[in-house]
């Protein structure tokens, strides 16, 4: 079996999830190289993942490592130049979302992808590879709900993680850029259409620290789409019950709702609280399989010379919409999306 020789850059929390998947769970990938500015992360790669080539310089890894593909899990601001550098070095590229932190950066990535149509580029919109979301998309494509015309998306992080959210709030670009990118991508994907206008608002009732970073604890945005369809996104950081990602797609002949109860597993407790379902407590738990499935698709695409369903333009367009949403939220005005 042909195996895709892969290097990873970035071995933080999410990087380690991807690295372990590549090293141990995807038959046709081999984790050959790792790059990080943090020495401990490189030690980890050698000791736990069996990586033999480690680098502290990304360009050096591209130049020297015996790899065909690069997986980028670095801070968002580094994504676009790293994408361009890897593609220009002839490597297939998988990059974690978001594509970039502004539209100009995204253009750099777009241009690089366009320069190398023979290389596979994939952006980590992993929800598309979650079995529930993939099932919904398949049902929609099969016409089972007619024409979809409204998406209602919810994404709320668990209260147990709120102190971390407060800590990173100041540099996060605000709640929409930090949290709504997946929902924005899903709206576009399900509706098959681009957003043209957004109205947004936020609220902070529990942790005033968010206000100190000019951020909000919870926020809502409403979108109009080119074909007349509509979208609503509700993001938040303080769900007492867990990690709540829910999406409803309303169509002319039916609706699909994903994860109204963000169940941890299939058990229900019948006790003095009633009948209770415990919830997942974060994205690693909820989307463990999706992280694996997207990387399998990346490997298959690279080995078969295909492009995946998620393109670089999905990344740049979502970033554009994220910025417009942020502007609407900050100004209190309706913002047209260019």
Q: What is the largest CA-CA distance in the chain?
A: 62
The residue from 38, 63, 168, 201 that contacts its own copies (CB under 8 A) is 201
Binding segment for its own copies (CB under 8 A), chosen from 83-91, 167-175, 181-189, 240-248, is 240-248
Total binding residues toward its own copies, as defined by CB under 8 A: 76
Q: Which of 39, 43, 255, 305 binds its own copies (CB under 8 A)?
A: 255
Cβ proximity to its own copies: between 102 and 263 the closer is 263
Per CB under 8 A, contacts with its own copies among 276-305 are: 276-279
d(CA 47, CA 55): 15
Binding to its own copies by residue 253, rule CB under 8 A?
yes
Q: Is 330 in the site for its own copies (CB under 8 A)?
A: no
Smaller CB separation from its own copies, 78 or 216: 216
Cis peptide leading into residue 334 (ω within 30°): no
CB of 209 to its own copies, least distance (A): 14
* Window 37-56: residues binding its own copies (CB under 8 A): 48, 50
Q: Which is nearer to its own copies, 102 or 197 (CB)?
A: 197
Q: Return phi, psi of residue 214, to 5°.
A: 55, 35
Whether 321 and 46 have beta carbons less than 8 Å apart is answered as: no
For residues 113-132, which are near its own copies according to CB under 8 A? 131-132
As measured in angstroms, the least distance from the Cβ of 101 to its own copies is 27
Among 103, 150, 161, 170, binds its own copies (CB under 8 A): 150
Judged by CB under 8 A, which of 12, 39, 75, 240 binds its own copies? 240
Q: Least distance to its own copies from the beta carbon of 224, Å?
A: 6
Enumerate residues 1-40 that contact its own copies by CB under 8 A: 1, 20, 23-27
In this structure, the dihedral spanned by the alpha carbons of residues 151, 157, 15 and 82, taken in order and rounded to 10 degrees, is: 60
Residue 204, Cβ neighbours under 10 Å: how many? 18
In whole angstroms, the minimum distance from the beta carbon of 6 to its own copies comes to: 15
DSSP 279: B
Of the pair 113, 292, the CB lying nearest its own copies is at 292
Strands 230-239 and 195-203, by their bridges, are: unpaired
Own/partner pairs, 11-16, CB within 8 angstroms, 24+ separation:
11/36, 11/38, 11/41, 11/42, 11/44, 11/45, 11/73, 12/41, 12/73, 13/284, 14/73, 14/96, 14/284, 15/41, 15/73, 16/44
Minimum Å gap between C-beta 173 and its own copies is 21
Q: Token pair of 34, please?
A: 């790792």
Among 114, 115, 135, 171, binds its own copies (CB under 8 A): 135
Q: Which stretch binds its own copies (CB under 8 A): 32-40, 80-88, 145-153, 306-314?
A: 145-153
Closest CA to 232 of 243, 244, 217, 248: 248
CA angle 307, 230, 329 (to 5 degrees): 95
88 makes contact with its own copies (CB under 8 A): no
Report if residue 258 touches its own copies, rule: CB under 8 A: yes
What are the φ/ψ torsions at residue 252 (nearest 5 degrees)?
-65, -25
CB 191 within 8 A of CB 148: yes
Among the residue ranges 9-17, 51-59, 170-178, 257-265, the one whose residues contact its own copies (CB under 8 A): 257-265
């Amino acid at each position: 079996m042909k195996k895709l020789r892969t290097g990873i850059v970035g071995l933080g929390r999410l990087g380690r999830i991807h690295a372990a998947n590549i090293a141990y769970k995807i038959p046709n990938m081999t984790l050959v190289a790792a790059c990080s500015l943090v020495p401990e992360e490189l030690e980890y790669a050698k000791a736990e993942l069996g990586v033999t080539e480690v680098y502290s310089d990304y360009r050096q890894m591209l130049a020297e490592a015996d790899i065909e593909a690069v997986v980028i899990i670095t801070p968002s601001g580094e994504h676009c130049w790293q994408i361009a550098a890897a593609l220009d070095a002839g490597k297939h590229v998988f990059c974690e979302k978001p594509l970039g932190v502004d539209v100009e950066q995204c253009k750099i990535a777009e241009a690089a992808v366009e320069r190398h149509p023979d290389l596979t580029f994939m952006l980590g919109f992993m929800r598309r590879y979650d079995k529930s979301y993939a099932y919904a998309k398949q049902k929609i494509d099969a016409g089972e709900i007619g024409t979809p015309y409204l998406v209602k998306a919810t994404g709320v992080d668990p209260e147990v993680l709120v102190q971390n959210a407060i800590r990173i709030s100041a540099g996060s670009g605000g709640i929409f850029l930090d949290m709504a990118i997946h929902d924005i991508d899903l709206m576009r994907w399900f509706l098959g259409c681009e957003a043209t206008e957004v109205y947004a608002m936020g609220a902070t009732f529990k942790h005033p620290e968010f206000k100190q970073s000019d951020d909000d604890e919870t926020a809502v945005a409403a979108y109009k789409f080119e074909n007349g369809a509509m979208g609503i996104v509700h993001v938040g950081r303080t769900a007492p019950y867990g990690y709540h990602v829910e999406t409803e797609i309303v169509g002319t002949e039916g609706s699909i709702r994903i994860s109204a109860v963000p169940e941890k597993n299939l058990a229900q407790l019948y006790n003095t609280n009633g009948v209770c379902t415990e919830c997942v407590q974060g994205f690693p738990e909820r989307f463990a399989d999706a992280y694996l499935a997207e990387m399998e698709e990346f490997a298959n695409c690279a080995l078969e010379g295909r492009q995946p369903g998620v393109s670089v333009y999905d990344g740049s367009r979502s970033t554009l919409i994220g910025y417009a949403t942020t502007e609407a939220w900050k100004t209190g005005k309706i913002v047209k999306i260019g």
